[in-house]
Amino acid sequence: MFSTLKSILGVVACAWILVGCEAAPPPTNLAPAKEKAAQCVEPTEDIRKNHMAYLMQHRDATVIEGIRTKQHSLVECINCHVTPTRADGSAVHYEDKDHFCASCHTYAGVKIDCFQCHADRPDLASQTNYQHKLGSAESYHFSTKLSASPALSAQDMQAITSGVVQ
Amino acid sequence: MTSNQVNEYRRRFMAGLGLAAGATLAPNFILRSAQAADVVARPDNEPASSAKRWGMLIDANRLTDGGASMVEACKREHGWGNDPQASAEQQPQWMRVVKVTDKHTKHSFTLPVMCQHCENPPCVDVCPTGASMKRADGIVYVNKHTCIGCRYCMMACPYKARSFVHEPLKDQKPHSPRGMGTVESCNLCVHRIDKGQLPACVEAAPHAVIFGDLNDPESRISQALKALGGTQIRADLGLNTGVRYLNI
Ligand code: SF4
Ligand code: SF4
């Protein structure tokens, strides 16, 4: 009787451990970022291949000459593509696999040093023009496509309220 | 009304007030308070031009706290002063309150000291990579993309205005990148000036500071300097600083 109980307990424990093993970190959700990439500041293929060249050119123009256009600004990349916090409120940083930039850089084995100095996520407290994907006040991303203010569909609303949208 | 419109409205209202007040006062009377209208926003795609040279006139008598609130505002704006692993001596210091006492009379006063934005900056002279630079409009700062952390500029600066970042940092302010292994200093809040805002420290002590274009003889700062004078610290060095003081 006791041994049966023991073996049952053993099986349960094993199953418990196995379940624990399976509960790996949740997969990176790139859907919102991909959605946004479709309306990125340059065509997707171009920006994937050449974002570093754009950034490099822009950083020199900004720091040395004081040109502050937004199209190729790193802060704007972060505003659009990186969520300030995860759904549970924890911070997402470049070291984490689910950070937008890291998701690709880790895969490609590219280590960059931008984020040794630059903020790797939007600072909501001090940044009033943080761009939400939909209905941003500064909608230069969409200016060529939208003339009127974008109407939100029921699906959009659900996405926003569920916190899925980055 | 969006907040931008509100600001714009306020700015115009204040500018109007300034004009009205100016008309009724004797022409050589200088209103000594910072005004947003002293800085005009430049279009995003336009480079800074040497037609302007930004400067600041600080009246030490009017700084009731000796300048402490200006320092606090700078810390808040740029996020320095609380680097988690640095000892007290290692903490970056973009701006500090300095107390000066006359040995004989024992008279003492305080003044806030930050980068003086020299016209002939020794820090730029000694930088081996060109990272320590002067922008066309006279603002001196460090281009951290090319800074190798050699700290020559820290040695060269007669005002002890520059600091070094000793440790990895996180969650910097998006408008003010700071990072390990680079030198930093007051950048005259370049991100704010370009948008047509006053530097953070000026906003924190509006009654004691005038900010504006030193190249424009009509600007309030030029007129104030003409009428009231203004002291450069270590004027003997001939650096022609952009930051001037009254009553020190
Ligand atoms: S005060 Fe120091 S850091 Fe500033 S411009 Fe002059 S030498 Fe350079
Ligand atoms: S101008 Fe800006 S960076 Fe310079 S001391 Fe004032 S607040 Fe700090």
B43-96 per-position pLDDT tens digit: 999 999 999 999 999 999 999 999 999 999 999 999 999 999 999 999 999 999
Q: Mean pLDDT across the stretch B38-44? A: 91
| C-alpha–C-alpha distance, residues B155 and B149, integer Å | 12
Q: What is the DSSP string of B157-168?
A: -TT---EE--S-
Residue B218: CB partners within 8 Å, gap ≥ 6?
A: none
| C-alpha–C-alpha distance, residues B168 and B117, integer Å | 28
Average pLDDT value for chain B: 90
Confidence (pLDDT) at A127:
54
Q: What is the residue whose two structure tokens read 């003081």?
A: B245
CA B70 – ligand 2 centroid, Å: 8
Could you tell me the end-to-end alpha-carbon distance of chain A, in angstroms, rounded to an integer? 55
Q: What is the nearest CA distance from A151 to chain B, expressed in angstroms? A: 19
Q: Are B214 and B242 in contact (CB under 8 A)?
A: yes
**What is the predicted ipTM?**
0.83
A41-75 per-position pLDDT tens digit: 888 889 999 999 999 999 999 999 999 998 899 99
Q: Pairing mode, if any, of strands B183-184 and B95-101?
A: unpaired
Structure token digits, residue B88: 């007290």
CA-B192 nearest atom, ligand 2: 2
Considering Cα of B134, then B76, then B215, then B50, what sign does the dihedral take?
A: positive
Cβ of B41 under 8 Å from any chain A Cβ? no
| C-alpha–C-alpha distance, residues B190 and A147, integer Å | 33
Confidence (pLDDT) at B142:
98
Q: Is the pLDDT of residue B36 over 50?
A: yes
Residue nearest to ligand 2 atom 6, measured at CA: B201
- Is the distance from the beta carbon of residue B210 to the nearest atom of ligand 2 less than 6 Å? no
Q: Mean pLDDT across the stretch A149-154? A: 51
A59-115 per-position pLDDT tens digit: 999 999 999 998 899 998 898 888 888 888 888 999 998 899 999 999 999 989 999
Neighboring chain A residues of B195 at a CB cutoff of 8 Å = 68
With an 8 Å Cβ cutoff, are A69 and B171 in contact? no
Q: Which amino acid appears at position A61 of this protein?
A: A
